[in-house]
Amino acid sequence: AQSVTQLDSQVPVFEEAPVELRCNYSSSVSVYLFWYVQYPNQGLQLLLKYLSGSTLVESINGFEAEFNKSQTSFHLRKPSVHISDTAEYFCAVSAPGTAGGTSYGKLTFGQGTILTVHP
């Protein structure tokens, strides 16, 4: 089984400041890691994912996350935030699925971190 802990429920920052949203996970098997973002009154959108290879992954809007296996972390960072980044961010882990429909690679989500960017 997997579990995810997002260490901060709310993170307020000023515009153009750097931000880090922390995520730790536990799992007995190797996992895939995801960050999803939820803007007000919308569903979740995939922001970025780590599957294998380079431990640093980037999104198209300037966010990046680094997979640290020894610390079992997948923290999300942005060097300079915008007002439009205000949203709730969810870290998620998934054990690999296998063949067939019964092992679909269940996603386990953290509790979410509300990022509020102030002018």
* 90 neighbors 118 (Cβ within 8 angstroms): no
Q: What six digits make up the tokens of 61? A: 């809007």
Nearer to other proteins, 69 or 106 (CB): 106
| Site size for other proteins (CB under 8 A) | 30
Nearer to other proteins, 36 or 63 (CB): 36
Query: Residue 26 and residue 116: Cα distance in Å, rounded?
Result: 27
Residue 21's φ and ψ, nearest 5 degrees, are: -110, 125
101 binds other proteins (CB under 8 A): yes
Residues that bind other proteins (CB under 8 A): 4, 9, 32, 34, 36, 41-46, 49, 51, 90, 94, 96-102, 104-107, 109-112
